[in-house]
């Protein structure tokens, strides 16, 4: 189907193929330059879809053309071997590469660089069925190597190394083991003719030119606007990095907030202690709040220190309404402070209302 026919069918889909419909199609093509962006995008999508559908077969045409140019060998025979490879799970490219490797191994032998290490093993195994004078006939050698593998497949450790010396891979070895069919029996419908290969190669080159045209077109746009775009993107990246840095600083600041949280926790503990004191007083067990002399001495010593003090003043809240105030004048040591504090605490205790009052 021609590309023009394809577009005609697309445009006329769902409508009667009348003169009117064809007229609308013609009008649409005549004003293609004013077509909406969506239609242009759709056309590009069709082109991309066609390229995807055609690329594999078109590339096959190019590969076969290049193989023939490099080796001078038959494209038809290579395709037959590639068909066998397909049946064994081997790729067409691997088979083509191995055929090329075999030809190179035989060329080196012709140039006096030594025969493959497995040449004698093949000749001795096949005996009269092997003509060493035809070693430069690559596809003849392919047939003989497959024949050798079929005869020695019970010793694959030896046979694999023999065929590897000719440049064949493990994939081709297992293809020759599993595929015993006659190459001439492969249907021509599974093969491309020489003329088809040429056309497929032309299609592949054509699509390559289209890609190149788009690439250079965008390249020119990039050359014109790219430098400024790069500068703009650099500015954006700087802004993004500043934002990231700000978040990092914020994370550090949050550690200070964690410190504030600990302060609030301390307040809660302190307030909880006051609540415990209040409960104790209310229960009539306030006597347990009065410290003994030893405790008072240690507390007083921490206030006075080791030297004398002229005056010490300490205020302690017991409940909301009870204060113990100690004013100590001319104390000499911690024992004096402890005695005075203990006296005033006892006085305060006696003034605490008893339960029920």
In a domain, 204, yes or no: no
Distance, in Å, from the CA atom of 323 to the CA atom of 229, rounded to the nearest integer, reads: 77
Extract the residue ranges of the chain whose pLDDT is less than 70: 1-41, 44, 47-53, 253-357
pTM of the full predicted structure? 0.53
In a domain, 277, yes or no: no
In a domain, 211, yes or no: no
pLDDT at 320: 38
pLDDT at 97: 97
Residue 84, domain extent: 74-192
Which residues share a beta bridge with 315?
A: 325
Are 187 and 297 contained in the same domain? no
pLDDT at 329: 47
pLDDT at 323: 40
Reduced to 3 states (helix: H, G, I; strand: E, B; else coil), residue 154 is coil
CB contact at 8 A, 346 and 319: no
**Greatest distance between any 2 Cα atoms in the chain:** 134
Return the closest-CA partner of residue 99 out of 71, 76, 65: 71
Count, residues in the chain: 357
pLDDT at 237: 76
Distance, in Å, from the CA atom of 189 to the CA atom of 203, rounded to the nearest integer, reads: 20
Domain stops at, among 167, 192, 217: 192
Domain stops at, among 125, 160, 192: 192
Split into its structural domains, the chain has a count of 2
In a domain, 142, yes or no: yes
pLDDT at 156: 94
Are 290 and 184 contained in the same domain? no
In a domain, 237, yes or no: no
pLDDT at 219: 85
Distance, in Å, from the CA atom of 58 to the CA atom of 335, rounded to the nearest integer, reads: 109
In a domain, 210, yes or no: no
DSSP annotation of 184 reads G
The CB-based long-range contact list for 295-304 (8 Å cut-off, 24+ gap) reads 296/337, 296/338, 296/341, 296/342, 296/345, 297/334, 297/335, 297/338, 299/338, 299/341, 300/334, 300/335, 300/336, 300/337, 300/338, 300/341, 301/334, 301/337, 303/337, 304/331, 304/333, 304/334, 304/337
pLDDT at 212: 87
CB contact at 8 A, 345 and 290: yes
Phi, psi of 69 (to 5 degrees): -65, -35
DSSP annotation of 309 reads -
In a domain, 183, yes or no: yes
In the block, residue with structure tokens 């450790």: 157
Residue 228 tokens read as 């400024």
In a domain, 279, yes or no: no
Domain stops at, among 159, 192, 225: 192
Distance, in Å, from the CA atom of 148 to the CA atom of 31, rounded to the nearest integer, reads: 67
Summarised one tens digit per residue, pLDDT across range 243-271 is: 777 777 777 766 666 665 655 565 565 55
């Amino acid at each position: 189907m021609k590309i023009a026919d394809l577009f005609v069918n697309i445009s006329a889909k769902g409508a009667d193929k009348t003169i009117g419909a064809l007229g609308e199609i013609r009008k649409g093509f005549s004003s293609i330059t004013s077509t909406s962006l969506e239609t242009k995008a759709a056309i590009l999508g069709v082109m991309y879809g066609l390229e995807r559908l055609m690329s594999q077969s078109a590339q096959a045409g190019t590969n076969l053309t290049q193989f023939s140019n490099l080796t001078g060998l038959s494209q038809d025979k290579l395709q037959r071997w590639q068909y066998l490879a397909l049946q064994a799970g081997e790729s067409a490219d691997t088979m083509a590469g191995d055929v090329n490797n075999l030809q190179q191994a035989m060329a080196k032998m012709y140039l006096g660089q030594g025969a493959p290490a497995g040449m004698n093993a093949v000749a001795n195994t096949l005996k009269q069925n092997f003509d060493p004078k035809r070693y430069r006939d690559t596809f003849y050698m392919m047939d003989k190597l497959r024949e050798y593998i079929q005869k020695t497949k019970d010793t694959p450790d030896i046979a694999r190394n023999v065929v590897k010396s000719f440049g064949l891979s493990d994939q081709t070895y297992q293809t020759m083991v599993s595929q015993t069919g006659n190459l001439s029996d492969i249907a021509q419908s599974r093969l491309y003719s020489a003329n088809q290969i040429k056309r497929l190669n032309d299609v592949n080159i054509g699509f390559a030119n289209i890609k190149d045209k788009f690439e250079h077109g965008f390249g020119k746009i990039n050359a014109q606007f790219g430098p400024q775009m790069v500068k703009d993107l650099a500015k954006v990246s700087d802004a993004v990095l500043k934002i990231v840095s700000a978040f990092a600083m914020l994370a550090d600041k949050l550690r200070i907030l964690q410190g504030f949280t600990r302060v609030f926790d301390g307040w809660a503990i302190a307030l909880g202690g006051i609540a415990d004191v209040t409960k104790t007083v209310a229960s009539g067990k306030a006597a347990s709040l009065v410290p003994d002399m030893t405790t008072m001495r240690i507390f007083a010593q921490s206030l006075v220190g080791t030297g004398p003090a002229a005056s010490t003043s300490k205020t302690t809240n017991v409940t909301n309404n009870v204060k113990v105030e100690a004013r100590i004048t001319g104390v000499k040591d911690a024992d004096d402070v402890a005695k005075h504090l203990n006296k005033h605490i006892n006085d305060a205790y006696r003034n605490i209302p008893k339960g029920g009052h």
